[in-house]
Structure 1
């Protein structure tokens, strides 16, 4: 599982920021579209939803989701989380994985 989050920093006083989240996932049977969310310790959360396959296949592909954190949102670190992955056979992981911090 390789992943990237960009941009990695932004001054919220400069206005809203669009974050691009990308992850590469391989599974012999194929994976279902992963779910991500961007959250802050203050309890604010944005972008919860499924990612879109942008290249490759469900067996070995790159998935992406764009999330906008609006102006006025909490300042400080925002955590990008990938929720349990599921394959096409119904197997899934437990908990969530942190992909990065904005």
Structure 2
């Protein structure tokens, strides 16, 4: 009797697997909201195309905090998800501040310009700071590895 129940459960599992395999082979990936062709060809993480800092630099935080803005063009076949992180980091002191308020200001998720801002507080360490982006990903979970250096900015502080 036990053998019969096990055999029946195994047959049910094989039938379920066959149904799932048929759906995948038929290209039914609707749960990802992506066409099957795009899902099968996009195997790369989003790419940084260009970036610039419209904020005047050097950034002076001697007497007051200052706002730092970054615009970065990101590109990906299936689109960039909004879970990426940007920070400004001082390699000499290991201080860093996260940039926030991500917003797509032009283009679309496949090829668009994102704007991110940060407030660098009064008294932050003077010197060379590096703007970095982290965790670029797309809806297929293709991700960048580690921090990507975008550009350097100089901070002045007394």
TM-score grouping bracket, smaller chain normalisation:
0.7 to 0.9
2: CA distance, partners of 1:19 / 1:11: 11
Kindly indicate which of the two structures has a greater share of residues assigned to helix: 2
Q: Which of these two proteins has the greater Rg computed from alpha carbons?
A: 2
Superposition RMSD in Å: 1.6
Q: TM-score, normalised by structure 2?
A: 0.59
Three-state SS of the structure 1 residue aligned to 2:146 is: coil
Higher RCO (CA-CA < 8 Å; seq separation 6+): 1
Indicate yes or no: 2:79 matched with 1:79: no
- Please say if residues 36 and 51 of structure 1, whose CA atoms lie closer than 8 Å, have aligned partners that are also in contact: no
1:2 Cα deviation after fit: 0.4
The offset of 1:49, in angstroms, is 4.5
Report the counterpart of residue 36 of structure 1 in structure 2. 86
Q: 1:22 aligns with which of 64, 67, 71?
A: 71
Unmatched tracts of structure 1, length 5 or more? none
SS at match of 2:125: coil
Number of aligned positions between the proteins: 102
TM-score by length of 1: 0.88
Name the CA distance, whole Å, in 2 between partners of 1:85 and 1:74: 28
- Return 5+ residue gaps in structure 2 as ranges: 1-48, 154-158
Alpha-carbon deviations, 1:48-96, whole Å to 9, x = none?
Answer: 5572212221111111111110111111111110113101111111122
Report if aligned partners of 2:85, 2:98 keep a CA contact under 8 Å in 1. no
